[in-house]
Structure 1
């Protein structure tokens, strides 16, 4: 009996070791305080990574450029970026693939008491813009202003480019008359009393684009997709599991609240609603819609934004069956 028990224990240990050996580590390099951490935390906390055959290892970095350096240098397996960057890299010969994560986009906020009722009313105003002159939201809103009001927003306003937290503070203090920021800062600005003048999704629709096209996503190398397709599709499946939970479970958000940097209940509710609104539909990405967006970015940002990409490179998106 003793030997049977011993043999059984050894066999179980061997099986456990074999299963562990098959669980591949997946190193994800992201901003330390980025909103993607809410989803990554959910994946890890609920074991969605293990359920799909990988061990999620999150590496926090101080900036997006540091994540890209780690990814390109082989120190990270996955980063988060927008698909326009992936298209640019593919056009330059880099075999990168985009897995949709979020369709959340920014917008333009003004103080509640601002007299501006449309984008045409911003003439002479100072606009704070998170990022630089090639920020996608800024480019789309410029195109929208030209299309709907016939005005050159760049020429008729003064632009102040700065990091998102600084634009957030400048907007709340009234140092700028309008602000373009990332969605989670906009949510907090709106919760603090500012109002949305123009939503980038609405502007995109007016320009003939599809606001449901996911802009942000996980980026992996094509080599990983070819050699370990189950690993890449496992990441996509774990991401969907986390999204499904966050879309419907209030208790899960209560668990995440401490890392959301919400100062008030209103900010917490706005961040939760904003994340949920940004969850893309399951299924394939509409590549024709993405191609239209790329064409507009080529027109507005040129080579500085999209490099040599002029049309959507084949294989940019992870599609079902790929």
Structure 2
């Protein structure tokens, strides 16, 4: 009986190993400390990848440019970027496809005791901006300030461009009067006592854009979608499974806390709330709304931002089951 049971266990293990060997690997290249790691960790921990027929392998990189180099060079199968970059690449002839990940955007933060009550009040101030002059949030806020308050933010303020962590530190140390940063840094600033002056989502709405349009997402190559649609749709399904869990289960966040770099309970709660607020609706992206955003980016950033893209290229967004 023992040998029969032992032999059965070996056979089962061999079958499991064979099944794993046949499971396609999906290599994701993402920022080592990016918030997407919370979702990817959830996918791996709960086996949402294998449940949807693939083995997710995460490669951490130091910056977005390194991820794009790995992706374009065939060293990675999926990265995280914004769909405006995907549209630019498609307009240049590269067949990339976007799978929505997050609609979370940043905003403008000022010290609690700042006299500023509107963007126009920032005239003469020093603003720290994560990224460069073509940062999407910065462009949207400039357009909003001009439309709503007749203010020229670029001309009337001094801009300091730097990486998000440096902008975060500059804000807390008082080296700048206001900051524009990614949502998770803003959540930490708010938890540390700073206040939000303007939310980019509110500015976008005032400009006629839809704040529910997801800006960030997973990017895959169209070749993979054509050759292995189950793999690409499996990634989308695993992502949704992880989002549903993170949206509803507080204990899952307790498990992730060590990865979140939250120094206080207030920061932890703010990061959790911010991630949940950024979860996009299930279903297809509203392409008309995306086209309006692209048109505004063409107007504000021109060729330097969107390249040859003048209208939304067909096939930019993944359609479920495609």
TM-score tier, shorter chain, comes to over 0.9
Q: For residue 51 of structure 1, what is the aligned residue in structure 2?
A: 51
The structural deviation recorded for 1:199 is 0.1
Structure 1 residues 97-246: aligned runs within 5 Å: 97-246=97-246
Which range is displaced more, 10-19 or 152-161? 10-19
Q: For residue 254 of structure 1, what is the aligned residue in structure 2?
A: 254
The structural deviation recorded for 1:2 is 10
> Does the residue aligned with 1:41 lie in a helix, a strand or coil?
helix
Q: CA deviation digits over 1:266-309, x for unaligned, max 9? A: 00000000000000000000000000000000000001000000
Between the aligned partners of 1:274 and 1:264, the Cα distance in structure 2 is: 15
1:20 aligns with 2:20: yes
Between the aligned partners of 2:299 and 2:252, the Cα distance in structure 1 is: 42
- Return closer, same or farther for 1:111/1:13 CA change in 2, 3 Å cut-off: closer
Q: For residue 321 of structure 2, what is the aligned residue in structure 1?
A: 321
Which range is displaced more, 201-210 or 162-171? 162-171
Equivalent residues of 1:22, 1:53 under 8 A apart: no
The structural deviation recorded for 1:22 is 2.8
Normalised by the length of structure 1, the TM-score is 0.97
The structural deviation recorded for 1:21 is 3.2
Q: For residue 281 of structure 2, what is the aligned residue in structure 1?
A: 281
Alignment: residue pair count: 322
Computed over aligned residues only, the root mean square deviation of the Cα atoms, in angstroms, reads 1.6
The structural deviation recorded for 1:19 is 1.9
Equivalent residues of 2:52, 2:235 under 8 A apart: yes
The structural deviation recorded for 1:13 is 5.6
Equivalent residues of 1:101, 1:279 under 8 A apart: yes
Which range is displaced more, 28-37 or 14-23? 14-23
> Does the residue aligned with 2:309 lie in a helix, a strand or coil?
coil
Structure 1 residues 63-82: aligned runs within 5 Å: 63-82=63-82
Between the aligned partners of 1:240 and 1:225, the Cα distance in structure 2 is: 18
Equivalent residues of 2:233, 2:321 under 8 A apart: no
Between the aligned partners of 1:293 and 1:79, the Cα distance in structure 2 is: 22
Between the aligned partners of 1:14 and 1:160, the Cα distance in structure 2 is: 58
Equivalent residues of 2:29, 2:76 under 8 A apart: yes
Structure 1 gap segments, 5+ residues each: none
Equivalent residues of 1:109, 1:196 under 8 A apart: yes
Between the aligned partners of 1:44 and 1:316, the Cα distance in structure 2 is: 27
Between the aligned partners of 1:4 and 1:114, the Cα distance in structure 2 is: 76
- Return closer, same or farther for 1:269/1:14 CA change in 2, 3 Å cut-off: closer
